[in-house]
Chains A and B, each alone.
Chain A
């Protein structure tokens, strides 16, 4: 029989590392297993790290974590072929403590975060793939890895193995995700001198910008493109539901190329040198896709549990919170020496009481509604652009006339009732 631990965490992403950190800090004996060469080497996200949930794990982390820039401006673009309507908020208070969120490069950040868990006493093992959970009498008692003598045992196994969660699937906690439950995101990190970024995005050295791009960036598919500023590089990427890509027969890298060469985007990237190309699935099934979370001796956290708020592009924060809550439930279970589903279920209950469960529930129908009704992305964003164009073009016609033309333009093709119904539907799922 191999080594024995209190907890084995599979996957050193935000969820797994938060769990390992919290459990180790409480004095538990933790083994953290990562398949990549180092934590972060295989992890992908657009690049926004949320201060609040990270701070709950490591207070004042910004003083030592490898962060890129604190985001002081969030821009939203509603883009058509040759135009866009934008809205944004810029607040310099976000550039000061305690900040709002940061841009990060995952390869650096995850490595640092995992090293903090190691400082708390967790054992980190890289380049090791967990091939299955060891189950005895319906209880998960350990994991089997791809290494010789690769079995290792623990009271609780935490599955933080990411969006595909083959382990969760093999335990029967969820089925293979359907194409409308996952988004495919492709992105590039493009090197650009700091000075150029500052000038182009109108910021200082330690200020960052996040831009979310809707509409033509996904050629009308449900999804978004994004552009974030790092210290001396940019993250440019685009993601849409897998089902949308399949339906439109789009290749993800073609879509990214389309975004990069879009006349609204291109000038921002001018002179940029592609340093990395990354692609990843993002779980976007939402509330209804959340799998079974707890079993005897096992819990599921993070992307593996579909904890992503697609509307607010939040995921890493939910991952961290879920990891922390799982660790707290395990610490509690350890105190009473009972690791059955009944005791570990504390994690599930706390999770649904927290913002993770509440936000997932609030937006439970959004993705599915927008997926079923492509007009929001495909029709209304171009209409918005046309309206703005009409209103701001000085052509000698009176403004009152313009307003009534715009409203007519909105309802001409679809009819007033359809438009009203669309508006009500959107309001209902978002409220």
Chain B
């Protein structure tokens, strides 16, 4: 089984600073990391390879330094990595990005065939979650988002069964191969990479393709030109004030909570009775 994982290098948004004047991300203030959701996607691909055999290939679009994110995937256990990198890809929104990735997947399909595509649920820098489904739609394969478990893959009959996270719990869906899955973090724990993987990753040079390496590309659909998204306004989210922790044995906690209710809601107080 050939599993393709689409990954993205992102600034570490846990520590990134927001420029207070323009409200844009100051990318120099945070190191570039592998999108955490994508790490889980790679881990899942490696897990499936262990069961069903085959190969895990990683695909990314980005500047040359995104090779480091691909190396990180090799640490996790990916076999190969391909980076599509070209100035003509720059400035892409999710529509243009999914088009470029789609073209690269097409090329990979021609030589290797692709049985399953995995993506992270979303990238932590944009949080849109559109690129994965966009690639699936262009390929004409089913997109299954928010996957928390791959229950079974039947390589012979070309079907698979997955659990999708939904608001009330999860739903179990059967689909066909190839499908595109976007995964949640709870799908697995990213394992502590063995040393031989680390050494292989340090040595690894991913293949780098530019626009001309892809077939039948409509340049108008790439990069800034192919991106109809307009950013209207940006503002940092309001910081939550944080919760108050109540500790102690259950009785103490109940008393503490009741005290708050009584004070806030004016329950059992003179002021409250008047209402």
Contacts and interface: CB of A to CB of B under 8 A. Distances in A.
Interface of A: 2-3, 31, 37-38, 123-125, 128, 145, 147-152
20 contacts: A2-B195, A3-B195, A3-B196, A3-B199, A31-B199, A37-B31, A123-B203, A124-B202, A125-B198, A125-B202, A128-B195, A145-B195, A147-B198, A148-B193, A148-B194, A148-B195, A149-B194, A150-B194, A150-B195, A152-B199
Contacts of B194: 147-150
Q: Which of B192, B195, B202 has the most CB of A within 10 A?
A: B195
Nearest to B31: A38
Interface of B: 31, 192-196, 198-199, 202-203
A64 to B, nearest CB: 16
A128 B198 contact: yes
Given A128-B195, A149-B194, A149-B196, 7 more contacts: A2-B196, A3-B195, A3-B196, A147-B193, A147-B198, A148-B192, A150-B194
B50 to A, nearest CB: 14
A188 B21 CA distance: 26
Nearest to B203: A123
Contacts of A152: 195, 199
Contact of B199 (A37, A125, A148): A125
A21 B221 CA distance: 45
A412 B198 CA distance: 68
Interface of B: prevailing SS? helix
Nearest to B33: A37
Contacts of B192: 147-148
Q: Which of A37, A124, A148, A151 has the most CB of B within 10 A?
A: A148
Nearest to B196: A149
Contacts of B203: 123
A147 B195 contact: yes
A149 B194 CA distance: 6
Contact of A123 (B31, B193, B196, B202): B202
Nearest to A118: B202
Contacts of B31: 37-38
A151 B195 contact: yes
A149 B195 contact: yes
Nearest to A148: B194
B66 to A, nearest CB: 16
A157 to B, nearest CB: 15
Q: Which of A3, A38, A145, A151 has the most CB of B within 10 A?
A: A3
Contacts of A124: 202
Nearest to B201: A125
B21 to A, nearest CB: 14
A295 to B, nearest CB: 24
A145 B196 CA distance: 11
A37 B194 CA distance: 16
A3 B196 CA distance: 7
Nearest to A32: B202
Contacts of B199: 3, 31, 123, 125, 152
Contacts of A147: 192-195, 198
Nearest to A5: B199
Contacts of A150: 194-195
Contacts of A2: 195-196
A38 B192 CA distance: 17
Contacts of B196: 2-3, 149
Contacts of B198: 125, 128, 147
Contacts of A3: 195-196, 199
A38 B194 CA distance: 18
A125 B75 CA distance: 10
A2 B199 CA distance: 10
A278 to B, nearest CB: 16
A38 B193 CA distance: 16
B39 to A, nearest CB: 13
B68 to A, nearest CB: 10
A149 B203 CA distance: 18
B71 to A, nearest CB: 11
A128 B194 CA distance: 10
A123 B71 CA distance: 13
Nearest to A124: B202
Contacts of A38: 31
Contacts of A151: 195
B90 to A, nearest CB: 24
A2 B202 CA distance: 15
A125 B200 CA distance: 10
Nearest to A145: B195
A152 B194 CA distance: 12
A147 B199 CA distance: 12
Contacts of B193: 147-148
Contacts of A123: 199, 202-203
A287 B203 CA distance: 40
Q: Which of B196, B198, B202 has the most CB of A within 10 A?
A: B198
A28 to B, nearest CB: 15
Nearest to B200: A3
A113 to B, nearest CB: 17
Contacts of A148: 192-195
B18 to A, nearest CB: 15
B119 to A, nearest CB: 25
Q: Which 9 A-B pairs have the closest CB atoms?
A: A148-B194, A147-B195, A123-B202, A149-B194, A150-B195, A125-B198, A3-B199, A149-B195, A149-B196
Contacts of B202: 123-125
A123 B75 CA distance: 14
Nearest to B199: A3
A134 B198 CA distance: 19
A410 B265 CA distance: 73
A151 B195 CA distance: 8
A186 B206 CA distance: 42
A37 B195 CA distance: 15
Nearest to A144: B195
